[in-house]
Amino acid sequence: MRIAASIVVMAFVGLLPFALDSYWVFTLSEVMIYAIATIGLDIVFGRAGQLSLAQASFFGLGAYLAALTTTLPAGLQFLLVVATAMIAGAVVAIPTLRLSGLRLALVTLLFGELFIWALDHLGSLTGGTQGLVVPALAIGDSNSQDPTYGYMLVLFFAVAATLTAVQISRTQFGRRLLAVRDSEVAARSVGIGLVRTKVAAFMLSAIFAGVAGWLYAHVVGFVAPPTFDLFPSVYFLIAVILGGAGRVAGSWLGAAYIVLIPQAFSIIGQSNLFPILGGGVLILVALLLPGGLMDGATRTAGWIRARYAAMRQMSSNRRPA
Amino acid sequence: MPAVLAVGSLGNTLQVILGGLATGGLYAVLLLGVIVVFQVSKNVNFAYGELGVIGAFVGYVLYSTLHWPTPLALALGVAAAVVLAAVTDLTLIRRIPDRQGFDLVVTLGALLLLTAGTDVVFGSADRQYLNLFSDKARIVGGVYINAGDLLSLGLGLVALVGGHLIVNETGLGVSLRASAEDPAIARSMGIDVLSLRTAVWAASGLLAAVASMVIASRLVLDARYMTPVIINVFIAGMLGGLDRYWPPMLAAFGVGLYNSLAGYIFGSDASTPALFILVLAVLIIAPKRFLEERHEARA
Amino acid sequence: MTQARLTVEDLTVRYGALQAVRDISATFQPDSIVGLIGPNGAGKTTLLNALSGFTDITSGRVRLGERDITRLSGQARVALGIVRSFQTVRLLEDESVFLNVALGCERNPQPTVVEQIFSLPRQWRARRRDLAATYQILDTLGLSEFAGRAVAELPYATRRLVELARILVVHPEVVLLDEPAAGSDRAERDLMGRTLRQLHAREPFTMIVVEHDVDVVRKLCSYAIALDSGAMIASGEPDVVLENDRVQEAYFGVGHRA
């Protein structure tokens, strides 16, 4: 049943680009790219509870690597992005291991500031504030900036990222992450290595963001610093919290929100209103629905099921307990 | 000639130091608000600087567009920030769920909301703010002394000493610390913990607004000018530890001075990496005890 | 069967000027159940912390068998089979009972993170092994029906059992329990005592229990150690220790919580 449903969904998703016009195909690719990076942040923040404000920097790292290594074959680029992101994740994680809460958030924010500073000041390499145009990546007889091909390329990685995140939930590593978030004392008492777990979480999260950035550069064809500064990092945070920490479907929902809603605002010509809504939504969800929309949906479904069961119980013959 | 040059460079150096301490003074004013809020409610408000921006903007609109008397306009600007800070506590902070990082998330949301809101309401153009003495200067012994710098430094010293007296020497300070240590005990002592908290938040709004107005007079007024400033203030707080008093307050002056000297020596572009290096150095060198946030008491 | 004997020699733990534990020497026989008694502040929890690696030892030694574990981290001691509970329940409140108990499988040899993420063969075997262990201990403790429920929804006594299940899911060598019945009523205390005895009878391990309830100590423990102001004031058969004058004075004189 589940397998059949998955096949239907995959077929639908795979055929979508042939049914939509290229603008929407491109937008869906963007949603998937942001979903990959959001799933990454969900690992380090949603599951391991480490508030990182550097996710957009890892995203940017992948994007700029793509822009600077266009002459390399795609496979080599990918490996380079993964390796660099892993190192970058470790570099951010290791000095911050003794920190939590505000201090962690601040230091990761500083890493982000430093990244933007470096982009601005290495103008000859990065194009400074002007940004860089990224030539399309050739795929077979087409390229990554063809909406349909770009979509397929991104879809492949988005599915892989989703499966990875689901698999993590099924492992002891996934349980370690939750233990580090909820109770370091409990984690230590069962013998979990806090340091190794946190570093692994940061590295994984950076890899997801780096790969997403790499795809972004090749699909969008242009990179510039504002896409990777503090505000996008906060948007990734919004995506995780809105969808629901620790839930893969939540990350997708969150990514759809941070890509589609700004589009909607710009269609009605009010793009500067999006950050206001973004801030408001972040506050409301954090205060009223700390488990995020997915958690809210699960609870509602559970409530409906319970009501339904109670009604059936009442209408059927009463049996002694 | 070499002698003159030497005097000139000494003068320059002194001037840079004065400028750094002046900036540090403003950081100290802002940090005092961060510290008292943290001590009473264990929260940090990412939107803190934005409260000041709004205060500064309200003052600006009143004196420059509506032509109200400047002192009244500025006073109302400060009042606006005070009210907004109190409202932040009442509507948001009291409802934060008990989940790691959610206080930061909520105030990050407030930062986004208020920054974008300020952008929309006041427009995104840079504005020249009131001078607040920064146009008055005198050269003393080769050092160019700006009255605005003296004002900043003075405010910083007032915050440093006044804050110490209030936090450590008065009954109010005792109530603050009692509420911070154990709200239940504080309540049993007859302290209205929630009202006290809101009052402290309101006071932090006052500090934010005053500092933001002075900073606007030194820079320009737009929706985001306080963001880098507030990051430096948080860094000073992080370096000193928000549950202490003297170390973070002195760190505020230190960060101001450090930034100013780094800018003087390596060029103004260097302040971001310079600060970063400072923070990393402290993180690596500082003893474990210094960095640990209060741990769960009984395992 | 537990092989190794846990011994402490001249153990001292100092926090600043305070000597929380002073010069304690004791031997915990394999598979014995040892009660730690004493008034509040006597150093019982500190002793458990020192045994489990949750606090630094100022001087003295801790050995497991022939091995000196004084300087081993808590994590390394868990790997040797020394596991503990806490005075207040430490669980992942929002997560399921199943997940909380499975967490204890950390002590089984786990494949690398890469193997886990890519679900390589070693991960399949580890997962099968851990699921089986988790379901088994849930069944033993009568928790199966709660497996999918969030811990926060359960009554206190049940959460205590979940914590116990997390400790016992992989067979331990030494179990350190800090007031396992704290906050429970009479009936729940008796039940906890009986459960502990049954579990111990089934698959023995060395058990060191901090317990205030004299009846529980008498019924459960084969040996008792009384502490006062960080020092050991008596040890031996529970009945003998409880009748000791100094214990009577230090413990009951201060007023004991029933």
What total of structural domains would you count in chain A? Answer: 1
Residues C145 and C123 in one domain: yes
Q: Which long-range contacts (CB under 8 A, 24 or more apart) does A304-313 make?
A: none
pLDDT confidence tier of residue A39, bands split at 50, 70 and 90: very high
pLDDT number for residue A65 = 94
**Average pLDDT, stretch A73-99?**
91
| Residue count of chain C | 258
Tens digits of pLDDT across chain C (258 residues) = 457 789 999 999 988 778 888 899 999 998 899 999 888 888 888 999 999 988 888 899 999 988 899 988 888 999 999 999 988 888 998 899 999 999 999 999 999 999 999 989 999 999 999 999 999 999 999 999 999 999 999 998 889 999 999 999 998 999 999 988 877 788 888 888 888 888 898 888 999 999 888 888 888 899 999 988 888 888 888 888 888 888 887 766 654 444
User: Is residue A92 one of the residues assigned to a domain?
Assistant: yes
CB contact under 8 A, C106 and A176: yes
Two structure tokens written together for A208: 């997801």
CA dihedral B204, B206, B210, B216 (to 10 degrees): 80
Residues C221 and C211 in one domain: yes
Two structure tokens written together for C80: 């040797």
Picking from B181, B174, B180, B210, the residue whose alpha carbon sits closest to that of residue B197 is: B180
CB contact under 8 A, A164 and C105: no
| Rounded-to-integer distance, Cα C188 and Cα C179, Å | 13
pLDDT number for residue B54 = 93
Nearest to B120 among A230, A272, A286 (CB): A272
| Rounded-to-integer distance, Cα B77 and Cα B63, Å | 10
Tens digits of pLDDT across chain B (299 residues) = 343 444 457 778 888 888 899 999 999 999 999 998 888 888 888 899 999 999 999 998 898 888 888 889 899 999 999 999 999 999 888 888 776 677 888 888 899 899 888 888 887 777 777 777 667 777 777 677 777 788 888 888 988 888 888 877 777 777 777 777 777 777 777 778 888 889 899 999 999 999 999 888 888 788 888 888 998 999 999 888 888 888 899 999 999 999 888 888 887 778 888 888 888 888 777 766 666 554 333 33
The residue assigned the tokens 């004997």 is: C5
User: Is residue A278 one of the residues assigned to a domain?
Assistant: no
| Rounded-to-integer distance, Cα C137 and Cα C64, Å | 26
| Rounded-to-integer distance, Cα C9 and Cα C31, Å | 20
Picking from B239, C33, B182, B206, the residue whose alpha carbon sits closest to that of residue A106 is: B239
Give backbone dihedrals phi and psi of B227, rounded to 5 degrees, phi first.
-60, -50
Residues C185 and C71 in one domain: yes
Q: Give percent of chain C with pLDDT exceeding 70.
A: 96
User: Is residue A138 one of the residues assigned to a domain?
Assistant: yes
| Rounded-to-integer distance, Cα C134 and Cα C169, Å | 6
Chain A residues close to B234, C-beta within 8 Å: 102, 106
Chain A residues close to B272, C-beta within 8 Å: 113-114, 117
pLDDT number for residue A146 = 84
Picking from C178, C153, C157, C156, the residue whose alpha carbon sits closest to that of residue C167 is: C178
pLDDT number for residue C143 = 92
Residues C187 and C63 in one domain: yes
Residues C67 and C180 in one domain: yes
Residues C226 and C156 in one domain: no
CB within 8 Å of chain C, chain A residues 201-230: 204
User: Is residue A255 one of the residues assigned to a domain?
Assistant: no
pLDDT number for residue A206 = 97
Residue C104's domain comprises 92-171
Using a CB–CB cutoff of 8 Å, tell me whether B266 touches chain A. no
- Provide the CA C25 distance to its chain's centre, in angstroms: 19
Name residue A155's amino acid. L
pLDDT tens-digit map of C22-76: 899 999 998 899 999 888 888 888 999 999 988 888 899 999 988 899 988 888 9
Chain C residues close to B299, C-beta within 8 Å: 45, 49, 54, 86-87
pLDDT number for residue B288 = 64
pLDDT tens-digit map of A224-265: 998 998 889 988 988 998 888 888 999 999 999 999 988 888
Query: Could you tell me the CA-to-CA distances from B8 to B12, B139, B146, B259, B267 in Å, in that order?
Result: 6, 12, 17, 21, 18
Give backbone dihedrals phi and psi of B144, rounded to 5 degrees, phi first.
-85, 110
Residues C18 and C63 in one domain: yes
pLDDT number for residue B297 = 32
Q: What is the C-alpha radius of gyration for chain A, rounded to an integer number of angstroms?
A: 21
- The whole-chain average pLDDT of chain A stands at 88
Residues C111 and C152 in one domain: yes
pLDDT number for residue B1 = 36
CB contact under 8 A, A283 and B92: yes
Contact by Cβ (8 Å): A246, A294: no
Q: How far is C129 from chain B (nearest CA, A)?
A: 30
Name residue B162's amino acid. G
DSSP state of B64: I
User: Is residue A46 one of the residues assigned to a domain?
Assistant: yes
Chain A residues close to C83, C-beta within 8 Å: 189-191
Domain end residue (candidates: C171, C191, C208) = C171
Q: Which chains touch B (3 or more CB pairs under 8 A)?
A: A, C
| Rounded-to-integer distance, Cα C74 and Cα C174, Å | 13
Name residue A102's amino acid. L
| Rounded-to-integer distance, Cα B195 and Cα B192, Å | 6
ipTM: 0.89
Please count the other Cβ atoms lying within 10 Å of the Cβ belonging to residue C18: 11
Picking from C91, C53, C9, C39, the residue whose alpha carbon sits closest to that of residue C229 is: C39
Name residue C39's amino acid. P
| Nearest residue in chain A measured CA to CA from C110 | A172
| Rounded-to-integer distance, Cα A192 and Cα A110, Å | 29
Nearest to A290 among B102, B227, B288 (CB): B102
Residues C118 and C231 in one domain: no
Chain B residues close to A107, C-beta within 8 Å: 238, 279, 283
Chain C residues close to A185, C-beta within 8 Å: 86, 90
Residues C189 and C220 in one domain: yes
Residue A171's domain comprises 2-228
pLDDT number for residue A318 = 54
CB contact under 8 A, A172 and C52: no
User: Is residue C87 one of the residues assigned to a domain?
Assistant: no
**Average pLDDT, stretch A187-191?**
92
| Rounded-to-integer distance, Cα A239 and Cα A242, Å | 5
pLDDT tens-digit map of A104-145: 888 899 999 999 999 988 888 888 888 888 888 887 777 888
Instruction: List CB contacts of C243: < 8 A, sequence separation 6 or more.
Output: none
CA atoms within 13 A on the CB side of C182: 13
Helix (H, G, I), strand (E, B) or coil at B128: coil
Residues C109 and C123 in one domain: yes
| Rounded-to-integer distance, Cα A53 and Cα A111, Å | 9
Using a CB–CB cutoff of 8 Å, tell me whether B299 touches chain A. yes
Chain A residues close to B116, C-beta within 8 Å: 272-276, 278-279
pLDDT number for residue C258 = 40
pLDDT confidence tier of residue A268, bands split at 50, 70 and 90: confident
Two structure tokens written together for A245: 């920490």
CB within 8 Å of chain A, chain C residues 46-105: 52, 54, 74-75, 78-79, 83-86, 90-95, 99, 102-105
User: Is residue A319 one of the residues assigned to a domain?
Assistant: no
Q: How far is A138 from chain C (nearest CA, A)?
A: 29
| Rounded-to-integer distance, Cα C162 and Cα C172, Å | 16
Two structure tokens written together for C47: 């002793």
Domains of chain B: 2-291 (1.10.3470)
Contact by Cβ (8 Å): C61, C11: yes
CATH number at residue C72: 3.40.50.300
What total of structural domains would you count in chain C? Answer: 2
Residues C139 and C238 in one domain: no
Q: How far is B191 from chain C (nearest CA, A)?
A: 29
| Rounded-to-integer distance, Cα A58 and Cα A37, Å | 9
Q: Which chains touch C (3 or more CB pairs under 8 A)?
A: A, B
pLDDT tens-digit map of A273-296: 888 888 888 888 888 888 888 888
- E-strand ranges in chain A read 132-133, 138-139, 142-143, 222-223
CB within 8 Å of chain A, chain B residues 97-156: 97, 99-102, 104-106, 108-117, 119-120
CB contact under 8 A, A98 and B235: no
Using a CB–CB cutoff of 8 Å, tell me whether A306 touches chain C. no
pLDDT number for residue B33 = 93
CA atoms within 13 A on the CB side of B12: 10
Query: Could you tell me the CA-to-CA distances from A7 to A2, A212, A249 in Å, in that order?
Result: 9, 24, 17
pLDDT number for residue A267 = 87
Give backbone dihedrals phi and psi of B241, rounded to 5 degrees, phi first.
95, 120
pLDDT number for residue A1 = 67
CB contact under 8 A, B291 and A49: no
User: Is residue A118 one of the residues assigned to a domain?
Assistant: yes
User: Is residue C86 one of the residues assigned to a domain?
Assistant: no
